Structure 1
């Protein structure tokens, strides 16, 4: 390594996420996707899971005090340019993470926070102790961006099937931006993702790539967080995050029968 490369630095994303031993989702996906954007992931583990590339068998939440200690050691020394949150494990962990965010924002009021509202695995296994919606609630009002898929948006606001009304509800709770992901939609040829912020909305339509994938939502939310950490605007980060995810799905590979792993490592732009 020459002197110029050793002196390079990267903006850091503080990530709160679960450990997926298969490497398809969770912290492994976060690290790869954030690295592909040119940022670096600071990894705080919230839960230890038992899963393969298809199915979750168990989730064991990390003690909230350990989460606090992991985060405190990092933020005392390393500048944080963005935060990304995946599964939190339980309500106590969410409250601990919320406290970390509030302390960071005392010095960085505009610190971006991407909240991936993971309420269950792709096959419906609950990824937190108790009701996942309740576990996440301390974080929704702190989020810069929330990224629910269609079933999650419905669970977070069950009074309506209209995604605009669902998004407006989340905005009313304090979130600044909402991206409703359309991967669970019925269109077999395309995926439509819809962004809502203030009185504005925008949609992106992407070609649906055939197959089943493990960690798509983690990839997208983490890529967006990485681009925000690199100083991009929300709209640009959303665009580039979706482009990266689309490329990762196109480059997906198999580790066993079942869901493929997105090729996030192939997406590096630098």
Structure 2
């Protein structure tokens, strides 16, 4: 890859949403918005609109692998983003491909190749997006994940930390113990005037770090950074009214795009959240129901 007009590539594994609000369409738009290019591998065909999911047809694992091999055989991969895998077999195939990509991809080992996993377990209405146990199916991917972006319910399901213990700190500690390097637990499914996103991982305690946000306030929690479960860095964003289709895809893909540009994790998370805040602020309607982020 050379030339002033070249863009870094993000390899995306996700499902096809015919409404265009989530899945591969959202990923492509969000990654382009960061100045990167999405290489899209379809893992599942879905039957859905901007509110509900009515069916999921996983793509055969061999075909998923062939798609990835075709693009990775020619394009240099600067980051990987994973959405729904569609099946446990697909998750295993993706995990094996990432191991290969980090070891031999692009003719040069890249053990630190960023992998962003958006652990989509169900739609906003609770409609399932996998024929298998979605949380269990993701197990082979967790040890390979650079940044995991669960919402509150997803963090609970993946970590196994359930009421009466519901602190995000305990959930993040459990997920990091399973191999995730960074965990960003998002607060979009919570209540209150602010959406609180919490980042756990190496480098998270960045008290006093400069903020690039223009319209949303931030809260940084100072910690000592030691131990397996450091307290998080927190961002507080004014909560937008209404519901949105594809907000999680947008955030994870924006993070992957930022990491593909070579930015440090702290900067990538900051820029991606800022991007999503404005995408939701300017969201538009295509029908009654959830609005589409303006990516």
Q: Give the TM-score of the pair, scaled to structure 1.
A: 0.94
Residue aligning to 1:186: 191
Residue aligning to 1:119: 121
Q: C-alpha distance in 1, partners of 2:265/2:159?
A: 24
Matched, 1:71 2:73: no
Tell me which of 280, 289, 292 is aligned to 1:258.
Answer: 289
Tell me which of 55, 58, 61 is aligned to 1:58.
Answer: 55
**Can you list the C-alpha shifts for 1:177-236, whole angstroms capped at 9, x where unaligned?**
00000011121x110000000444200000001111000000000000000000110000
Of 237-246 and 128-137, more deviation after overlay is shown by 128-137
Structure 1 residue 126, shift from structure 2 partner: 1.1
3-state DSSP of counterpart to 1:141 = helix
Larger RCO: 1 or 2 (CA < 8 Å, sep 6+)? 1
Contact kept? 1:117, 1:148, Cα under 8 Å: yes
Residue aligning to 1:93: 90
Residue aligning to 1:207: 238
Moved over 6 A (4+): none
Q: C-alpha distance in 2, partners of 1:149/1:251?
A: 22
Matched, 1:231 2:275: no
Residue aligning to 1:48: 45
Q: C-alpha distance in 2, partners of 1:257/1:173?
A: 40
Q: Give the TM-score of the pair, scaled to structure 2.
A: 0.86
**Can you list the C-alpha shifts for 1:145-190, whole angstroms capped at 9, x where unaligned?**
1000001111112333111110011100111000000011121x11
Contact kept? 1:54, 1:258, Cα under 8 Å: yes
Q: Which runs of 5+ in 1 are unaligned?
A: 1-5, 265-270
More helix by share: 1
Q: Which runs of 5+ in 2 are unaligned?
A: 104-108, 203-224
1:3-152 matches, within 5 Å, as 8-106=5-103, 107-152=109-154
Of 35-44 and 154-163, more deviation after overlay is shown by 154-163
Matched, 1:163 2:168: yes
Q: C-alpha distance in 2, partners of 1:190/1:247?
A: 15
Tell me which of 168, 177, 180 is aligned to 2:182.
Answer: 177
3-state DSSP of counterpart to 2:45 = strand
Q: C-alpha distance in 2, partners of 1:235/1:7?
A: 26
Q: C-alpha distance in 1, partners of 2:132/2:54?
A: 16
Q: C-alpha distance in 2, partners of 1:164/1:110?
A: 25
Q: C-alpha distance in 1, partners of 2:183/2:52?
A: 28
3-state DSSP of counterpart to 2:180 = coil
Matched, 1:243 2:247: no
Aligned Cα root-mean-square deviation (Å)? 1.0
Query: Number of residues paired by the alignment?
Result: 258
Residue aligning to 1:3: none
